[in-house]
């Protein structure tokens, strides 16, 4: 069956066609930011491999740390691109099924594969020293398992998000589970803070435990604020601009501690909000009222 527009061509058909082309062209804009996310993730993988090569060549200090730091900053830049593509798609009304799927695939690379490799290469590889501490040979298998757990939990989190986002009546104020960009942001912030690869096995054990906790939070039912309900087109007090400027200034000049605090604060925010709910007794179920 033809639509009404197709059955009855209008004189302004060329204008309508032009508007249609304009709408199609607007979809390219958020996709460009998704490509930026993908490029940053690929670059982070390359820099991680470069850091591994430097460690194999005996440059396990500042040179390898510089490569891992570049990988961490690339992941941080990918988080920025990932936040902008969705925001721009909503502001321009250019959302599409293709954009959603393309964004998820880019997220798997930038926030799953790239940080997963960084988790092992930066935090585990240099701690394996079976000649001095024989049992550290088991850290290799543990690192593989934990880094893969981070990847597969992140992929499952993205799949669940795609399903939940198309459900009618979904609450746009909260994410269910820690978003994979936020989990990758914690990994990147820690690496950016320390830079030099870990060499002490007790610290590596703590690192693997923290990574496993991030993987669990991604597939948990803990809720996190989405910031999607913030309307940037509304008028705000001038103090808001001052605060945003101060935060940007702090990130530029003190990126290591500021980004680490921001990443950890958001990752722990859902858990902290969950604690009062567990401690507070649940209200009694309402009594059933019978109407006669």
Q: Please name the residue ranges forming H helices in 125-179.
A: 138-165
DSSP category for residue 289: P
The pLDDT score that the predictor gives to residue 276 is 66
Comparison of pLDDT for 282 and 228, the residue scoring more: 228
The pLDDT score that the predictor gives to residue 283 is 46
pLDDT(22) > 80: no
Distance CA 180, CA 220 (A): 12
The pLDDT score that the predictor gives to residue 99 is 77
- Summarised one tens digit per residue, pLDDT across range 49-62 is 999 998 888 766 77
- Summarised one tens digit per residue, pLDDT across range 80-126 is 999 888 777 777 776 777 777 888 899 999 999 999 999 999 999 88
Alpha-carbon separation of residue 124 from 42, 154, 208 (angstroms): 21, 20, 8
pLDDT(169) > 70: no
The pLDDT score that the predictor gives to residue 275 is 77
- Summarised one tens digit per residue, pLDDT across range 63-73 is 889 999 999 99
Domain chopping of the chain, boundaries: 24-277
pLDDT band at 277 (very low <50, low <70, confident <90, very high): low
The pLDDT score that the predictor gives to residue 31 is 83
pLDDT band at 178 (very low <50, low <70, confident <90, very high): very high
Answer for the pair 38, 110: CB distance below 8 angstroms, yes or no. yes
The pLDDT score that the predictor gives to residue 96 is 73
The chain-wide mean pLDDT, for the chain, equals: 81
pLDDT(290) > 60: no
Alpha-carbon separation of residue 133 from 137, 205, 209 (angstroms): 8, 14, 20
pLDDT mean over 19-45? 76
Distance CA 66, CA 184 (A): 19
pLDDT mean over 253-260? 93
The pLDDT score that the predictor gives to residue 63 is 84
The pLDDT score that the predictor gives to residue 41 is 96
Distance CA 73, CA 124 (A): 20
CATH topology for 24-277 is 1.20.120
pLDDT mean over 119-145? 89
In whole angstroms, what separates CA 121 from the centre of its chain? 20
């Amino acid at each position: 069956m033809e639509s009404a527009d197709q059955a009855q061509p209008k004189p302004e058909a060329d204008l309508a066609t032009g508007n249609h082309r304009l709408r199609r062209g607007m979809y390219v804009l958020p996709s460009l930011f998704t490509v930026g996310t993908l490029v940053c993730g690929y670059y982070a993988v390359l820099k991680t491999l470069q850091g591994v090569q430097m460690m194999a060549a005996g440059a396990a200090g500042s040179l390898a740390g510089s490569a891992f730091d570049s990988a961490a900053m690339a992941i941080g830049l990918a988080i920025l691109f990932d936040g902008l593509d969705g925001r721009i798609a909503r502001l321009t009304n250019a959302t599409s099924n293709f954009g959603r799927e393309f964004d998820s695939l880019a997220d798997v690379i930038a926030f799953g594969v790239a940080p997963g490799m960084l988790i092992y290469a930066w935090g585990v590889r240099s701690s394996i020293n079976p000649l001095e501490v024989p049992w550290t040979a088991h850290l290799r298998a543990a690192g593989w398992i934990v880094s893969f757990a981070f990847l597969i939990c992140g992929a499952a989190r993205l799949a669940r998000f795609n399903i939940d986002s198309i459900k009618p009546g979904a609450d746009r104020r909260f994410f269910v589970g820690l978003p994979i960009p936020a989990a990758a942001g914690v990994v990147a912030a820690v690496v950016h803070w320390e830079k030099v690869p870990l060499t002490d096995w007790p610290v590596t054990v703590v690192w693997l435990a923290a990574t496993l906790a991030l993987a669990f939070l991604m597939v948990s039912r803990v809720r996190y604020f989405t910031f999607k309900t913030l309307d940037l087109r509304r008028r705000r007090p001038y103090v808001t601009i001052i605060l945003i400027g101060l935060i940007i200034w702090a990130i530029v000049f003190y990126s290591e501690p500021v980004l680490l605090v921001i990443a950890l604060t958001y990752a722990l925010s859902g858990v902290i909000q969950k604690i009062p709910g567990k401690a507070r007794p649940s209200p009694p179920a309402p009594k059933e009222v019978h109407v006669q």
